[in-house]
């Protein structure tokens, strides 16, 4: 799946565009106040490369530890997943691959959403 997303460079470009969108979304941007986005961007890229069957170089925290203090809602998770899918769609990724990426992201909700 990694090759069809443009390889590691394609994923890195996707993550750059994703963060641009997240930081411009008034529902999402507040979560990132005081966060070193440049640093987590690298972790996010490595994480997503591994998610799409690329080599696993991820050296960040586990997702529950990274997000636990943030009180992330289901709505914020849905909005973030939508921004990711929109970004991939704008990069002309095939619809069946969008579904495959979504299938792999969806189970992460349990580790990320803590505001219930
Ligand atoms: C869609 C699934 C998501 C994935 C795969 C993901 C992945 C990651 C990764 C890999 C990190 C870096 C962890 C580290 O550097 O140790 C991170 C950090 C972070 N994520 Fe997510 N994330 C997701 C959803 C979200 C959502 C929904 C929000 C908020 C709306 C969010 C907000 C943050 C913030 C603020 C950080 C920085 C935390 C800190 O440095 O203290 N993430 N995420």
Overall domain count for the chain:
1
pLDDT confidence tier of residue 92, bands split at 50, 70 and 90: very high
Residue 97 CA to ligand 1 centre (angstroms): 22
Domain that holds residue 51: 3-112
Residue having the nearest C-alpha atom to atom 20 of ligand 1: 67
The ligand 1 atom nearest the CA atom of 32: 35
- Which residues have any ligand 1 atom within 6 Å of their CB? 28, 31-32, 35, 40, 43-44, 47, 60-61, 63, 66-67, 70, 72, 76-77, 80-81, 105, 108, 112
pLDDT at 80 over 80: yes
The string of DSSP codes covering 66-102 is HHGGG-B-HHHHHHHHHHHHHHHHHTT--HHHHHHHH
Query: Measured between alpha carbons, how far is 55 from 47 in angstroms, rounded to an integer?
Result: 10
pLDDT at 101 over 90: yes
Residue 37 CA to ligand 1 centre (angstroms): 10
Q: What is the CATH number of the domain that holds 43?
A: 1.10.490.10
For the chain, what is the mean pLDDT?
96
DSSP state of 44: H
């Amino acid at each position: 799946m990694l090759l069809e997303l443009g390889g590691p460079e394609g994923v890195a470009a996707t993550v750059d565009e994703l963060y641009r969108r997240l930081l411009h979304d008034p529902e999402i941007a507040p979560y990132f106040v005081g966060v070193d986005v440049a640093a987590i961007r690298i972790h996010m890229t490595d994480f997503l490369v591994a998610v799409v069957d690329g080599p696993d170089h991820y050296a960040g925290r586990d997702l529950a530890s990274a997000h636990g203090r943030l009180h992330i809602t289901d709505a914020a998770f849905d909005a973030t997943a939508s921004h990711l899918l929109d970004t991939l769609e704008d990069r002309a990724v095939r619809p069946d691959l969008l579904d495959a990426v979504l299938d792999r992201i969806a189970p992460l909700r349990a580790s990320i959403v803590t505001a219930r």
